[in-house]
Amino acid sequence: MTEQHFIPKAHSNAVESGKVTWESPSNIALVKYWGKKKDQIPENPSISFTLNNCKTITTLGFSKKASTSNFEFEIFLDGEKKDDFKPKIQIFFERVEVYLPFLKEYKFRIETENTFPHSSGIASSASGMSALALCLMSLKKMLNPEMPNDYFYQKASFLARLGSGSACRSIEGDLIVWGHSKAIEGSSDLFGLKYPYKVHENFKAYQDTILLVDKGEKQVSSTVGHNLMHNHPYAKNRFQQAHNHLEKLKPILELGDLDAFIALIESEALTLHAMMMTSNPYFILMKPNTLEIINKIWKFRQETGLHISFTLDAGANVHVLYPKNEASQILEFIKNELVVYCQNGHYICDQIGMGAKKID
Ligand code: DP6
């Protein structure tokens, strides 16, 4: 399949004005996307857990306008006008216009809010861009009511990717693969795919407690970080490793092998940060408390045999991952021993979720 698949024919309905709301979750990668070509074509495949509680709720208001020479839109975050978000949305609209040719025919009002605190160090680009892509697809569906559901979700993921790569993994749940892998039938660089194979009970309702170690702005954005993978001395091996990891994950997920799962995802998290530390220029996003937490997790795991593990995204926060049936003991440990390393003691309890929802 190529991009051509998402270029539409003329629409059949006339729609004057209206409003649509979607809520869309964040996601946490197990095999990481780090390194991309133009338009968020990933250098390697990735797989993520869709989250349940960390989400963005976006309402898109639209009304027909007379002139079709420009994009016209306003953005509000928690009811406050946010002109500093405009350049990002402008670029997004420019990128997706060929797939949504009606964009210049409407004036848009984008109202958005997150269920997680704005300055929590949790990236809102995945949930935010996927929510916006879904709202735009709902308008598209009003214009073309005969559009099949499968196409709706696949194209929403395709558009979300053009806003932010990882956003294409936030449309559905509970495990999403993005990027072509020979091990996963139907996987594509263009959109996320619901993981199509058997997943053991052990991974159902898997828990993710997010420890907010540093809530400040990151010193290096993901986009800059991705670009530093060009000419990176270890890039080729890293991309190959991600392919291998995804292949190895298949039997792990099927058999419910928690020990192998932990070894694989922790290696992924540390490799991601190792790539940052060996970029040119190099940088470090972990903080001393990130390492304190990792060491405590390892010690507790060794002492108790419980299946507590961690992963990291492009920041200092730690995602503590564990199976549901061990939740009470592990949460107790988190509260007693790890929360002291969080900024102002803040953490968020989340778990695997089933994807975005339209709000009526
Ligand atoms: C470390 O999707 O935020 O979280 O495509 O430039 O918007 P852009 O980057 P983004 O990168 C996410 C990187 C990551 C790993 C992952 O989610 O796979």
Q: Report the pLDDT averaged over residues 87-108.
A: 97
Number of domains in the chain: 2
Domain membership of residue 294 (yes or no) is yes
Please report, as a single letter, which amino acid is at residue 38: K
Please report, as a single letter, which amino acid is at residue 6: F
Report pLDDT digits (tens) over 213-269: 998 777 888 989 999 999 999 999 999 999 999 999 999 999 999 999 999 999 999
Q: Are residues 157 and 291 in the same domain?
A: no
Query: What percentage of the chain reaches a pLDDT higher than 70?
Result: 99
Q: Are residues 172 and 315 in the same domain?
A: no
Domain membership of residue 356 (yes or no) is no
Quick check: CB of 273 below 6 Å from ligand 1? no
Quick check: CB of 40 below 6 Å from ligand 1? yes
- What CA–CA distance (Å, rounded) separates 232 from 72? 39
pLDDT confidence of 141, banded at 50, 70, 90?
Answer: very high
Quick check: CB of 314 below 6 Å from ligand 1? yes
Question: With 90 as the cut, is the pLDDT of residue 11 above it?
Answer: no
Which residue range is the domain that position 344 belongs to?
Answer: 205-351
Q: Are residues 143 and 228 in the same domain?
A: no
54: domain CATH number is: 3.30.230.10
Q: Please report the pLDDT score of residue 271 as a whole number.
A: 98
Q: Report the pLDDT averaged over residues 42-50.
A: 98
Q: Is 152 exposed, middle or buried (0-12, 13-18, 19+ CB in 10 A)?
A: middle
Quick check: CB of 245 below 6 Å from ligand 1? no
Q: Report the pLDDT averaged over residues 277-300.
A: 97
3-class DSSP string for 185-249: CCCCCCCEEECCCCCCHHHCCCEEEEECCCCCCCCCCHHHHHHCCCCCCCHHHHHHHHHHHHHHH
Q: Are residues 238 and 162 in the same domain?
A: no
pLDDT confidence of 173, banded at 50, 70, 90?
Answer: very high
Q: Are strands 106-114 and 46-64 parallel, antiparallel or unpaired?
A: antiparallel
**What tokens were used for 262?**
């932990």
Question: With 80 as the cut, is the pLDDT of residue 123 above it?
Answer: no
Q: How far is the CA of 166 from the centre of ligand 1 (A)?
A: 5
